[in-house]
Homo-oligomer: A and B are copies of this chain.
Amino acid sequence: DIVAAIEAALSEGPLAGRHVLVTSGPTHEPIDPVRYIANRSSGAQGTAIAAALRDLGARVSFITGPADVPPPAGVAVTRVQTAVEMLAAVEAALPADAGVFAAAVADWRVTEAATSKMKKDAAGTLPSLSFAENPDILATVSKGPQRPALVVGFAAETDDVTAHATAKRLRKGCDWIVANDVSPATGIMGGTENAVTLITAAGAEDWPRMDKAQVAAKLAARIAEALA
């Protein structure tokens, strides 16, 4: 991986001189000091995409929640826990030529996380939790003043994948959506392979099921083509 990073730095590559931002992994939203709410995400796909963009010569800002896999070598890593922290790190990393938002950001956070461990009451019931909506990082960047020329979002869905992802693309204001079916039966979540549908203004392209590194290489090549 270090060799690959050095090679990328020395080679020109189609993305030489380009700055690409990649978010990856889950966010962890604290309930109290020991409990949290999270989305399942190993960070494997986002990490592979960052490595593939680096291999094409891009300068990569990699903003990651607590993932299972280590970040790639040769990229600028910022580690965050929550969605609010992730948005701040993204805004600090802008401007960029492209942004790839692969993180599985929690939609909600607990309004006020407890500073002490919560206890059951005598009846053993949960103290009530109130939730607030997290910032929508993809929409905020897509509609913001420092919008990258190319914004790529992700959609992890379990039903009507293409329909949900096509609607999401319009709602968020991004250019592309990489959609995948994360139903437990697919084995994609936590696995080494991925089967994605790329949603663009031109429609939906189903890519064959392949290794996450191959999905990453194919997506990075498409990004290079779009920025050329």
A residues with a Cβ closer than 8 A to B are: 31, 33-40, 68, 104, 106-108, 115-117, 120, 124-126, 131, 133, 156-159, 182-184, 189
Contact = CB atoms under 8 A, between A and B. Distances in A.
A162 to B, nearest CB: 15
A158 B33 contact: yes
Contacts of A120: 107, 133
Question: How would you classify the secondary structure of chain A's contact residues: helix, strand, loop or mixed?
Answer: loop
A34 B182 contact: yes
Contacts of A157: 117
A156 B37 contact: no
Contacts of A40: 33-36
Contacts of A183: 33
A108 to B, nearest CB: 5
Contact of A33 (B33, B131, B182): B182
Contact of A35 (B38, B115, B125): B38
5 contacts: A33-B158, A34-B158, A38-B38, A116-B158, A117-B158
A156 B34 contact: yes
